[in-house]
Structure 1
Amino acid sequence: MLIVIPAAGASSRMRGRDKLLELVDYQPLLAQRIAVALETGADVLVTLPPDNPERRAIAEGIVDDRLDLVIVDDAAEGMAASIRAAAAFAQQQDADALMLVLADMPEIDVNDLRTMMRAFDSETVMRGMDTRERPGHPVLFPARLFPALAEVSGDQGARDVLADEKVVMIPLPDCHATTDLDTPEDWAAWRGPNSP
């Protein structure tokens, strides 16, 4: 199984800040997300934009044989560019599944990822949901969908692929599956009243 962390986005809604450099557990969010993914024992792929040396330095500073990095030259297109790159890499590695773990979702922990991995079935898409039964992430795609993922386009990610699939929802604790932080206001609310 390959876990992909798409980290090639522009953080455009952060108004000059980079959400993947925000500190979580005393480290940049990107480093924290990579560490959580590696803790599962799975192979991990991080997609990076061509023009963000800070993110690249963080990812390259994590030394682990199971970690690979891919520069996404067409990252400006949106999420689909990272998904295409991940699908191509997964096919090259002969992976049996691809788990999409968004980089801006700090509440997803190693237990959540292991829950998804235990639920894996070679034919079915699995998707995390929160305790209010709202669909979220991670999303686990079986290998049979790699060719379709390699053809996605735009900033809708894999929604078109999911539209044609029966998706099994996997319950995750609280709002782990749906808390994503895209704006300074999101970060301030998540950190609470004493946040800087």
Structure 2
Amino acid sequence: MIGVFLAAGKSKRMGQNKLALPLKGETIGSLSLKTALLSRLDHVLIIERTERASHEWMGAPYHAPPFRKRWSLHVCQEAEKGQGHSVSSGVRKAESMGADGVVILLADQPQLSVDHLNALVAMAPESFAVSSSLGAFAPPIYFSSACFPYVKELKGDEGARSLLKSGQLGTGAVLEAKASSELKDIDTPEEYDMVRRLMV
């Protein structure tokens, strides 16, 4: 199973590249990536806008063993058009690599635990499995290969959650997060300050 790690956003609400902001001795992006690399995912596909974009936030340890063989970079040429393009492009690439399923991950979820991600991976071969906190769905989301035709059609700002709301994927599973903070993504300076205080 391949993780599709979405790191191609513009960080508009933050006003600067949020993935490169310092957090707990690393960066928001590198902490989020570490969880994916330490999980039971077979491989992590990092979706970026350019070949060099990840150098702004990815720490040196991730370019060396044992991590380096665990990830590869995929440039989404249409990332500027919205997250839907990054998701569909990543799933197309994962499919070409022989993936029997994918987990859609956000690069700005540094509080996500390896345990939660592994539990999601273990839910295969469900059609899909979505994370939830207090009744609200959020990434990470697992999709089996049966869902790929639908996920590959995402465009614009449509995220993977839009497919769940449409009902076209049928019935899947829901994985409740043990702590609501695990699924929080960081979009604004206020959210960053709050997470920075919590993650000391």
The reply to whether TM is greater than 0.5 is yes
CA 1:60–1:150 in structure 2 vs 1: closer, same or farther (change >3 Å)? farther
Aligned to 1:181, what secondary structure does the other structure show?
Answer: coil
Aligned to 2:106, what secondary structure does the other structure show?
Answer: coil
In structure 1, what is the equivalent of residue 36 of structure 2?
37
CA 1:76–1:184 in structure 2 vs 1: closer, same or farther (change >3 Å)? same
Aligned match for 1:84, one of 88, 91, 94: 88
Counterpart mapping for 1:41-80 below 5 A? 41-42=40-41, 43-50=43-50, 53-56=52-55, 58-59=57-58, 61=60, 62-63=62-63, 64-80=68-84
Q: CA deviation at 1:9?
A: 0.6
Structure 1: 5+ residue runs without aligned partners?
Answer: none
- The answer to whether the Cα contact below 8 Å between 2:22 and 2:28 also exists between their aligned partners in 1 is yes
In structure 2, what is the equivalent of residue 127 of structure 1?
130
What amino acid maps onto 1:50 in structure 2? T
Structure 1 CA distance, aligned partners of 2:132 and 2:145? Answer: 22
Structure 1 CA distance, aligned partners of 2:160 and 2:54? Answer: 24
- Mapped pair 1:5 → 2:5: yes
What amino acid maps onto 1:8 in structure 2? A
CA 1:78–1:56 in structure 2 vs 1: closer, same or farther (change >3 Å)? farther
Structure 2 CA distance, aligned partners of 1:59 and 1:190? Answer: 19
CA 1:177–1:169 in structure 2 vs 1: closer, same or farther (change >3 Å)? farther
Aligned match for 2:179, one of 155, 170, 174: 174
In structure 2, what is the equivalent of residue 14 of structure 1?
14
TM-score by structure 2 length? 0.86
What amino acid maps onto 1:138 in structure 2? P
Identical pairs, percent = 24
- The answer to whether the Cα contact below 8 Å between 2:4 and 2:45 also exists between their aligned partners in 1 is yes
In structure 2, what is the equivalent of residue 102 of structure 1?
106
RMSD: 2.2
CA 1:189–1:58 in structure 2 vs 1: closer, same or farther (change >3 Å)? closer
What is the number of equivalent residue pairs in this alignment? Answer: 190
TM-score by structure 1 length? 0.87
Q: CA deviation at 1:70?
A: 0.8
